[in-house]
Amino acid sequence: MTGNPKSEIRNSKEGRSPKPENGDGPPIRISDLRDRGGFTLVEIMIVVAIMGLILAAGVPALDRALRKEGFRKTLSDITDVCIETRKQAIINGEEADIVFHPKDRTLSGGGKSAKIEDNVTIEMLDVNLTEYKEAEEAKVRFFPNGTCDEMTLILHAVDKNQWRKITLEITTSLASVTDKLQ
């Protein structure tokens, strides 16, 4: 502020603000302040519309990626049963079993169950190096110390010609799924 009220009134009528306190530099114009930038409402609405279109285009692909169907669902269900049975054995401090019914294409354990899809064939079910593919029932034991029986399950999705091998690591009883059959 210059301290002179008349000059302040004159400057504001001309669209200028008074000179800065230290007196350096040209006076600041109010019109200069309006032209400093920012976005108009129309520009913001266009950006939001473009973002909405991109999001809408990506939703179907994201939905397909997250939804489990067919072979992926079978693999996920089997590994979930293995995980839950392992948890049950460790938490309860007693042996827990997964019971496979290869002819019925079902398995259960740890309070969960799974069904092998119709388009998926069981090519191999080995428990402790014994083949159970044609048996009525096969049990895989999980122990409280975190170990389990050895198990190898090979599945074949006939319609997609995909092969997957599910194995249990005997020292940790963790299930792993791979497409390498060796």
pLDDT tens figures, 113-145 = 999 988 899 999 999 999 999 999 999 999 999
Distance CA 107, CA 72 (A): 16
Q: Based on the domain organization, do 80 and 122 belong to the same domain? A: yes
Q: Could you tell me the residue range of the domain that residue 155 belongs to? A: 70-178
H or E stretch covering 126: strand 120-127
> What's the domain count of the chain?
2
Q: Based on the domain organization, do 35 and 84 belong to the same domain? A: no
Mean pLDDT, to the nearest integer, of 160-178? Answer: 92
Q: Based on the domain organization, do 40 and 20 belong to the same domain? A: yes
pLDDT of amino acid 5: 54
Q: Based on the domain organization, do 15 and 39 belong to the same domain? A: yes
Residue 17 has pLDDT above 70, yes or no: no
Distance CA 65, CA 59 (A): 10
pLDDT of amino acid 159: 86
pLDDT digits (tens, 9 = 90+) for 103-121: 999 999 989 999 998 889 9
Q: Based on the domain organization, do 90 and 172 belong to the same domain? A: yes
Question: Average per-residue pLDDT in the chain?
Answer: 84
36, 66, 96: which is the final residue of a domain?
66
Distance CA 143, CA 25 (A): 82
Q: Based on the domain organization, do 131 and 41 belong to the same domain? A: no
Q: Based on the domain organization, do 37 and 111 belong to the same domain? A: no
Lowest mean pLDDT: which of 12-21, 37-46, 157-166, 169-178? 12-21
Q: Based on the domain organization, do 14 and 86 belong to the same domain? A: no
66, 98, 113: which is the final residue of a domain?
66
Residue 37 has pLDDT above 80, yes or no: no
Q: For position 91, which CATH number holds?
A: 3.55.40.10
Provide the β-strand partners of residue 97.
141
Region label for 105, one of left (φ > 0), alpha (ψ between -120 and 50) or beta (otherwise): left
pLDDT of amino acid 30: 62
Q: Is 124 exposed, middle or buried (0-12, 13-18, 19+ CB in 10 A)?
A: middle
Q: Could you tell me if 112 and 175 are in contact, meaning their C-beta atoms sit under 8 angstroms apart?
A: no
38 SS3 class: coil
77 pLDDT band, cuts 50/70/90, is very high
pLDDT of amino acid 62: 78
pLDDT of amino acid 107: 95
Q: Based on the domain organization, do 31 and 91 belong to the same domain? A: no
